[in-house]
Amino acid sequence: MSVDEVIRHTLDSAELDYDRKGEGVYFVTLPGTKKLQTNCWLVAREHSLAIEAFVCRRPDERHEDVYRFLLRRNAKLYGVHYTIDAVGDIYLVGRLGLDAVSEAELDRLLGQVLEAADGDFNTLLEIGFASSIRREWDWRVSRGESLANLRAFAHLVEPEGEHRPGSLTDD
């Protein structure tokens, strides 16, 4: 089976949404829970299969803390690692020799991308975007908008035991 066939069969078996952009080039959408979807490129080159997934944009604040988290997290990841681009946006990237491409290995890599991007997403937001989250919370409260998708961040705006207007108990 060619690398292209292995990729297609793996994606079809996992029932993932994808677009084939050419021989060995796939744009895959991985469904998540915290990060609703992670877009991932699979690109078969002459000697390797590259995998690249956007995780989140450049943090607004506490850059060192975000990057420290990413570096520590890299030690626990399988087959991929965190990196940043020229503007500081965060990605997961990896490379696999073509001789090692199999359905099981590709499934493992995609699973790791999903676990990391989805599992680390709220932590990255908490560290690098806390002020933005607080402003968004206050803006929604002022307009009577739903706070439903900010529930995971209530602890950033409501210190334990304190009640603010627009708190989750008011929702």
Q: Select the CATH number that applies to the domain covering 3-128 from these four: 3.40.50.720, 3.40.190.10, 3.30.1460.10, 3.40.50.300.
A: 3.30.1460.10
Percent of the chain scoring above 90 in pLDDT: 68
> For residues 103 and 10, what is the distance between their CA atoms, to the nearest angstrom?
5
Cα angle 52, 61, 67 (rounded to 5 degrees) comes to: 45
Model confidence pLDDT, tens digit, residues 61-107 = 999 999 999 999 999 999 999 999 999 999 999 999 999 999 999 99
